[in-house]
Amino acid sequence: MTIREHFNTRKKRVLTALLACALLAVASAFVSVRYEAVFLLTLACVLTAIVVMYLAVILGFRCPRCRGQWGYLAMYSGGVFSIRKDLRFCPYCGVEIDQALGVDSLQPHPGSMRPDE
């Protein structure tokens, strides 16, 4: 598995969770017209979606090599279920994101700037 595939899998999981929260919120909102207590479920779904999105952006997308935060870059660019296809290197450490994940394979791109140098 490459870093790109790793991020794409995470993005699919996050968006699937958000979609499930949205669908449940809409369904419970319709039901809450008849049964007012169900509105708490609607509220819980909306709050859950906000927390899931926040945690995904802040903690969910980290470079496996340098732990650089890819949150906004991964979530708000590219396709619905994939990161931008023209992203080839980590902007923080320069590792090629199409390399297979592994300890030895996470070498930086030549000429990249690393924070520890």
75 binds Zn ion (CB under 5 A): no
Number of chain residues interacting with Zn ion (CB under 5 A): 7
73 binds Zn ion (CB under 5 A): no
Q: In terms of C-beta density within 10 A (0-12 exposed, 13-18 middle, 19 or more buried), how is residue 85 classed?
A: exposed
66 binds Zn ion (CB under 5 A): yes
CB 96 within 8 A of CB 89: yes
- Only one of the segments 20-28, 63-71, 74-82, 108-116 lies at the binding site for Zn ion (rule: CB under 5 A); that segment is 63-71
From the CA atom positions of the chain, what is the Rg in Å?
18
The binder of Zn ion chosen from 10, 57, 65, 83 (CB under 5 A): 65
Give me the sign of the Cα torsion angle 44, 50, 51, 53.
positive
The binder of Zn ion chosen from 20, 24, 68, 69 (CB under 5 A): 68
Token output for 3: 């870093």
| Smaller CB separation from Zn ion, 21 or 63 | 63
Rounded CA separation 112/58 (Å): 24
- Only one of the segments 7-15, 57-65, 96-104, 109-117 lies at the binding site for Zn ion (rule: CB under 5 A); that segment is 57-65
| Smaller CB separation from Zn ion, 25 or 66 | 66
